[in-house]
């Protein structure tokens, strides 16, 4: 009799943990699939938080010193993509719906030469200075069908604090150039981001 009781108790325990696994797993998966793109009632996009801890895929630099002293974006362009979206891209060559790509500008650190560079123990060059603005793209094939499935936003080109929300930018200001050059590669300049380009995690 006691033996049966023990079996029943063990059985109940196993069933309970089974139920827990069944219930808990889908909840966790649903959370992972949430997009960082949150739109308010007017269709404005909220600036995502925590993006500096996403995967840092690259940092193009177009300094004033190489652009007649007047580059449009003389800062480093730090580009971030969430881990789950990087993983999906490495598997499929496509970003999932809802993917957000952040490009945060950081100024070159206090220049001492006319070309914007300075000297540090490692040599003469460019080093990261202050944060100076955010451009961002969102993949949403329905909402942004007119611009090849991606929306373009800017939260300011200036030091922090950044704007908290942003309206979609026009085709002329943003999407047009991406459509003309990188329509075939997810509207993104994959060729400048070694992890995405070479598809080799390490």
**How many whole angstroms separate alpha carbon 49 and alpha carbon 37?**
10
Residue 60 binds ligand HEC (CB under 6 A): yes
One of 63, 74, 77, 80 touching ligand HEC (CB under 6 A): 77
Residue 153 binds ligand HEC (CB under 6 A): yes
Min dist CB 89 to ligand HEC, Å, is 12
Residue 105 binds ligand HEC (CB under 6 A): no
One of 144, 154, 168, 195 touching ligand HEC (CB under 6 A): 154
Residue 195 binds ligand HEC (CB under 6 A): no
List the 100-108 sheet strands across, edge first: 55-58, 76-81, 100-108, 128-139, 150-154
Residue 107 binds ligand HEC (CB under 6 A): no
One of 79, 86, 195, 196 touching ligand HEC (CB under 6 A): 79
117 vs 154 by CB, closer to ligand HEC: 154
Residue 62 binds ligand HEC (CB under 6 A): yes
Residue 189 binds ligand HEC (CB under 6 A): yes
CB 88 within 8 A of CB 138: no
One of 165, 169, 179, 183 touching ligand HEC (CB under 6 A): 169
**What is the dihedral sign for C-alpha 84, 86, 92, 98?**
positive
Binding span for ligand HEC by CB under 6 A among 23-31, 35-43, 139-147, 184-192: 184-192
Count CB atoms within 10 A of the CB of residue 162: 17
Min dist CB 47 to ligand HEC, Å, is 13
* Residues binding ligand HEC (CB under 6 A): 60, 62, 77, 79, 101, 103, 135-137, 152-154, 169, 173-174, 177-178, 188-189, 192
């Amino acid at each position: 009799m006691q033996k049966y009781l023990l079996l029943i108790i063990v059985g109940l325990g196993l069933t309970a943990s089974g139920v827990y696994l069944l219930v808990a797993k889908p909840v966790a998966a649903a959370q992972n699939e949430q997009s960082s793109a949150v739109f308010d009632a007017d269709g404005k996009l909220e600036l995502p938080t925590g993006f500096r801890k996403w995967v840092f895929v690259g940092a193009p630099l177009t300094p004033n010193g190489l652009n007649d002293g007047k580059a449009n974006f003389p800062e480093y362009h730090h580009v971030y993509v969430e881990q789950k979206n990087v993983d999906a891209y490495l598997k499929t060559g496509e970003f999932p719906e809802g993917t957000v790509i952040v490009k945060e500008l950081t100024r070159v650190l206090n220049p001492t030469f006319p070309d914007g560079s300075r000297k540090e123990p490692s040599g003469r060059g460019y080093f990261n200075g202050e944060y100076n603005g955010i451009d961002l793209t969102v993949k949403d094939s329905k909402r942004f069908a007119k611009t090849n499935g991606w929306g373009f936003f800017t939260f300011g080109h200036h030091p922090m604090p950044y704007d908290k929300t942003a309206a979609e930018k026009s085709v002329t200001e943003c999407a047009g150039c991406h459509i003309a050059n990188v329509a075939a590669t997810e509207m993104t300049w994959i060729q400048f981001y070694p992890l995405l380009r070479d598809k080799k995690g390490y």
